[in-house]
Chains A and B, each alone.
Chain A
Amino acid sequence: AQKITQTQPGMFVQEKEAVTLDCTYDTSDPSYGLFWYKQPSSGEMIFLIYQGSYDQQNATEGRYSLNFQKARKSANLVISASQLGDSAMYFCAMREQGGSQGNLIFGKGTKLSVKP
């Protein structure tokens, strides 16, 4: 079974609009962390935002926010006021606390295209 599922292979959004990128996860570990990374066409992986399983509030970092719904096991990324530079691949990833050395499990990614 997939541990991280990103169901949107590609998304389009108009510049200055908000967009939500979906991510669902599967784990039996009570302690875990969820991460979003951005991968522009140049290839590097850029950390965007983190949400811990015990965090009471949704994480926010500038124009990025995470809509964390623990019971549904979803951790959707919301990008507000999209910019042309937001066009990239976006990966959701999970780190489980127990039984691992902190490696990240990635989803297949969503390609976001921002239209002018």
Chain B
Amino acid sequence: EPEVTQTPSHQVTQMGQEVILRCVPISNHLYFYWYRQILGQKVEFLVSFYNNEISEKSEIFDDQFSVERPDGSNFTLKIRSTKLEDSAMYFCASRQPHPIEAEAFFGQGTRLTVV
């Protein structure tokens, strides 16, 4: 069964450092997403990506964040200068654009710890 894969599963980084979280969405999906889940809290939308550009972003997704689809398979989230409050589980998801009931397939997540 096709799946979304994320690497690394866990990343520890120093405050102020840049991190890149990687995702390989399901190959025939066209919408890609990043979500964040701070420990013990709900899953929050960060950004959606379609047709090689950001289609929507939340207020969380500020100038410290960027996304890229550098080739036909990878989808990355970059945090330029990490802060302690960026510590969270980051989920990548992908889905077909239509219909509305198309479920989002989530990756296993990357647990980011900023120290």
Contacts and interface: CB of A to CB of B under 8 A. Distances in A.
B89 interface: yes
Contacts of B109: 43-45
A93 B42 CA distance: 10
Interface stretch (B63-71, B77-85, B94-102): B94-102
A103 B56 CA distance: 9
Given A50-B101, A101-B55, A103-B48, A43 B42 contact: no
A17 B40 CA distance: 27
Contact of A104 (B45, B97, B101): B45
Interface string B32-52: 010100000111110010100
B91 interface: yes
A101 B106 contact: no
**Chain B, interface SS category:** strand
Contacts of B97: 102
Contact of B100 (A33, A42, A44, A107): A33
A111 B4 CA distance: 25
B75 interface: no
A35 B106 CA distance: 13
A100 interface: yes
> Which of B44, B101, B107, B109: most chain A Cβ within 10 A?
B101
A43 B55 CA distance: 27
A50 B56 contact: no
Interface of A: 31-33, 35, 37, 42-47, 50, 52, 91, 93, 95, 97, 100-109
Interface of B: 31, 33, 35, 41-45, 48, 50, 55-56, 89, 91, 93, 95, 97, 100-109, 111
